[in-house]
Structure 1
Amino acid sequence: FLLVGPPGTGKSMIAQALSLHLPSVTEEIQVVHNPENPERPLIQVKQRDEVLVEQNRLAGAEGDLIDPKEAPINVAERLGYKCVHCGTYSSPSDRMCPKCNRAKAASQGNVGNPFGDLLGGIFEVTFAQLSGRDRVTTTRQQFGKEEVVVYERAGEMIRVLDQKALEKRREVEKESPRKVLIPITRRPFVLATGASETELLGDVRHDPYGGHPQLGTQPYDRVVAGAIHEAHQGVLFIDELPQLGHLQRFILTAMQEKRFPISGRNPQSAGASVKVEAVPCDFIFVGACNIQDLPHILSPLRSRITGAGYEILVETTMPDTDANRARLAQFVAQEIAVDKRIPPASRDAVGVVIEEARRRAKALDNKDKALSLRLRELGGLIRSAGDIAVTEQSKVIEADHVRRGVKVAQSIEDQIRERYGSYSAGVGTDMSSSQREASPYHYWNEHKADDVQGYQ
């Protein structure tokens, strides 16, 4: 879709409303490590049912979290949660016990050493750090059978892995490493600004270690999805479409192929050699622009929109009926609720807003018996009236507040004409004598209520 119309007529709201009528997304996109060619990660698309099964399997492989006080005493001591001297529990990141100020782990380095009383205080902390562990393996009796149990550090908690969890973890470790690129829980509406190619088309992050298997980050884990990929099975909305410039061609390609590769955009980055082929991006495209910007939209893109969609000129007015007046009153209530700082409006105040919408429909769009749909400007009028009411400590927005808000919310051009008689006369007041001499128009002699440019 291509939505064309003046600013503030609700083009983005139309796109959001469209996304609400789409079915829920059914696919999750994962990028998988390619052991044969790490610089060319693979794409795997999973359905919702497969994702739920995988999540349950991974949840079973993660084990259970318990409080350190619930773990066996020797396990809590060996993991660094419990002090061996006074029995106080604390964070494993604390090397010294906060109660007795001694190293929490027992040090065996000075046993039998005749100089232990001299060197013990120096090396006690070091030996204690070396004796601390991140993982402890032990056994326990379960239903009359002995099974292996692994206790791991998990922040302030302890993770317990029983026999079943260990078996599931081994199964997971056998699979190729992967990363969820587009989650199944994503929103169906994506607003893209097109500020850069990275934001729109995706990128591969830089790795200072060049993707070294031991030191660096693998290429698959550095892939970042773009807005066109995040909008898969949803709506991609781009406001001010002509501002994209040459990026419009990439939008056209993505719309045609429904797949678009992700590669490193910075040629000096370690991600420049990484490329992920055929990343799905099947979306509904909604572009918006103003009437004067139509010539800046690429012809092939407009042809694609016309061939598979619609070009829509957004309405700026609606008929002045009781139903539409009620909708406009609802809009006033919504703007007040969104602002959260201005008081509610009285019935008379809403009536003045409706009359102002009727006046603007005639003044701006030359429509009789109509109400303006330039909602952004009407919203500014409501907030201006609300600010006046707050200043006067009024509990509600009265009709007089709206009338004064109309004057406050008028455009700067109207304010200049009201004060100086015309826009040209207002410009002339800010000019120096030398600027007036060089000007093609004698602004200081301007006295007519017009904006005629050039010599007189």
Structure 2
Amino acid sequence: MSEKVDIQGEPDLRSVATTADILIPKDPLRRVIGQDEAVELARIAARQRRHLLLVGPPGTGKSMIAQALALHLPRPKEEVRVVHNPENPERPLVEVKREDEVSRERESKGSAEGDLIDPHNAPPSVAERLGYRCKNCGTYSPPQDRFCPKCEKAKADTGMPGNPFGDILGNLMESMAGAAPGLAPGKEKVTTTRKRGEKEEVVVFERAGEMIRMLDQSALERRRELERQRPRKVLVPLERNPFVLATGASETEILGDVRHDPYGGHAQLGSPPYERVIPGSIHEAHEGVLFLDEVSHLGPMQRSILTAMQEKRFPISGRNPQSAGASVKVENVPSDFILVAACNIQDLENILSPLRSRIAGDGYEVLVDTCMEDNELNRARLAQFMAQEIHTDGRIPHASRSAIEAIIREARYRAKVLDGKEGALTLRLRELGGLIRSSGDLAVSLGDCLIEEKHVLAAQKRTRPVEEQIRERYGTYMKGLGTDISSAQKEKSPYYFQNEHIRDDRAYQ
């Protein structure tokens, strides 16, 4: 297999025959095409923990920059837990554990679980009392077997001496006590002693499926220590994704909530308040990146996000006043995240002014580019983009050099039509990626092993916007609307009534 070409380091398309020859960079920020300023600021934001506001049209790489930034962050080092508060259960406490503390706790918990041993390696008397060994012939079998598979006798004494109905009463008592069929109640655990040197220690044997769990003195002590701890729940685990996408999320999803309990947290019937606490995206993004696309659509919720950014912590409380969770509140839940917000230019004025001020004061505002200069390096970058799209899709073949050149011509055409730029290449790459996938689908349907120029040219027609298709078929948008709408709809539709006298097609373009 030939070595792949770093097309950005060697920007000569003659050095590649197909996109399979192009090296896809391991650095996720090097995979972002054409947004040099935004990429440079993303590197700074990851290193210095700064916020970013990315402004520009859809499909120009804003979400890709946010994800790549998150991959440049060190992995999280804190685990956040919520702990039962016995003095005031409706106000659970927050506990933050560092990575080394979590590791020690896991080791301690693992040692408190004891050792799993084969029933043959346990003392015979213990194996009999736990139901693994037949007291008559010494054959071993699973504890749920009531009778020995070899001698077909009862593995344990279940009858009551002197009572002809002892076996029936014994089985009834077992079922009431929740014991395994055929075994006397209370035989899920056996406590014995053993000598180690001059000391005698307690050893407990417990059923563990087809194995036996053995807990020595040290394991029992660690288990007792764990039992003495207050009940707790992991809210934000140590091993987590540093990138949290909260675009279009509700207030509950972003800010957290407390689940409803129909029993109102009753001690015997309901769930304790700490177990019902749900973290929001601002808490899950702690030590990572919170990405909010279309941030202007969040409305008043922007104030809460601003508070979390300023304080680096935000309380979790029940958000439904009719829910039992409304009385529960957890204070000081960590929310130290990097905010990467994005919006279109027309929505910029709808972003809360204090939020923009916070981003500008502790980060950067970037207007992303919609096109880049048409030169050898940027044409090579577009070829790399094609290789990335094909690799990510996984269902289309690689593209030949002729297909690469066809995509470059299309990028040149779109830059001229959409942005009025001569000598430029478009950076509206989402739509261009759609053209690449459509070309690949066409190649697959024809049984071709590569995407060729002919596939790209045919796909250009398939991927045209529907408005363009309407104008080509009917001449104008209004004529297309007139053929599609019935006379009854014309009478009832306020949209049609309002516009029926408009003849200028530009109103719909």
Q: What TM-score comes out, normalization by structure 2 length?
A: 0.79
Q: Does 1:109 align with 2:159?
A: yes
Aligned residue identity for 2:343: C
Aligned residue identity for 2:141: Y
| Larger CA deviation: 30-39 vs 382-391 | 30-39
| SS across alignment from 1:212 | coil
| Larger CA deviation: 223-232 vs 198-207 | 198-207
Shift of 1:315: 1.1
Compared CA separation, residues 104 and 316, structure 1 to 2 (3 A): farther
| Equivalent residue runs for 1:119-138 within 5 Å | 119=168, 123=172, 126=175, 128=182, 131=185, 133-138=187-192
* Aligned counterparts of 1:82 and 1:351: Cα–Cα separation in 2: 76
Aligned residue identity for 1:37: N
* Alignment correspondent of 1:159: 213
After superposition, what is the alpha-carbon deviation per residue over 1:275-303, rounded to whole angstroms, capped at 9, x for unaligned?
Answer: 11111111111111222322332233223
Q: Does 1:4 align with 2:55?
A: yes
* Aligned counterparts of 1:85 and 1:393: Cα–Cα separation in 2: 71
| Equivalent residue runs for 1:51-450 within 5 Å | 51-80=102-131, 87=139, 89-90=141-142, 94=144, 106-115=156-165, 119=168, 123=172, 126=175, 128=182, 131=185, 133-143=187-197, 145-155=199-209, 157-433=211-487, 439=497
Preserved CA contact (<8 Å) 2:173 2:185: no
* Aligned counterparts of 1:85 and 1:120: Cα–Cα separation in 2: 22
Preserved CA contact (<8 Å) 1:237 1:285: yes
Compared CA separation, residues 69 and 343, structure 1 to 2 (3 A): farther
**Gapped runs of 5+ residues in structure 1?**
none
After superposition, what is the alpha-carbon deviation per residue over 1:46-88, rounded to whole angstroms, capped at 9, x for unaligned?
Answer: 2222222222222222222334554444444544556667845
Compared CA separation, residues 173 and 125, structure 1 to 2 (3 A): closer
Preserved CA contact (<8 Å) 1:96 1:102: no
| Larger CA deviation: 292-301 vs 337-346 | 292-301
Aligned-pair Cα RMSD in Å: 3.0
Preserved CA contact (<8 Å) 2:290 2:340: yes
* Aligned counterparts of 1:104 and 1:327: Cα–Cα separation in 2: 77
* Aligned counterparts of 1:434 and 1:207: Cα–Cα separation in 2: 51
Aligned residue identity for 2:90: E
After superposition, what is the alpha-carbon deviation per residue over 1:102-152, rounded to whole angstroms, capped at 9, x for unaligned?
Answer: 8976343343213458x4797597473662643322233445643222223
After superposition, what is the alpha-carbon deviation per residue over 1:378-402, rounded to whole angstroms, capped at 9, x for unaligned?
Answer: 1111111111111111111111001
Preserved CA contact (<8 Å) 1:360 1:372: yes
Aligned residue identity for 2:55: V
Shift of 1:197: 2.1
Compared CA separation, residues 100 and 350, structure 1 to 2 (3 A): farther
Shift of 1:186: 1.9
* Alignment correspondent of 2:70: 19
Compared CA separation, residues 410 and 79, structure 1 to 2 (3 A): farther
* Aligned counterparts of 1:371 and 1:296: Cα–Cα separation in 2: 31
| SS across alignment from 1:310 | strand
Compared CA separation, residues 252 and 115, structure 1 to 2 (3 A): closer
* Alignment correspondent of 1:43: 94
Q: Does 1:28 align with 2:82?
A: no
| SS across alignment from 2:299 | helix
Aligned residue identity for 1:167: E
Compared CA separation, residues 15 and 107, structure 1 to 2 (3 A): same
* Aligned counterparts of 2:291 and 2:226: Cα–Cα separation in 1: 38
* Aligned counterparts of 1:332 and 1:83: Cα–Cα separation in 2: 69
| SS across alignment from 1:43 | strand
* Aligned counterparts of 2:221 and 2:419: Cα–Cα separation in 1: 71
Preserved CA contact (<8 Å) 1:97 1:104: yes
* Aligned counterparts of 1:95 and 1:209: Cα–Cα separation in 2: 40
Preserved CA contact (<8 Å) 1:103 1:128: no
Compared CA separation, residues 120 and 165, structure 1 to 2 (3 A): closer
After superposition, what is the alpha-carbon deviation per residue over 1:25-46, rounded to whole angstroms, capped at 9, x for unaligned?
Answer: 2222222222211111111222
| Larger CA deviation: 408-417 vs 81-90 | 81-90
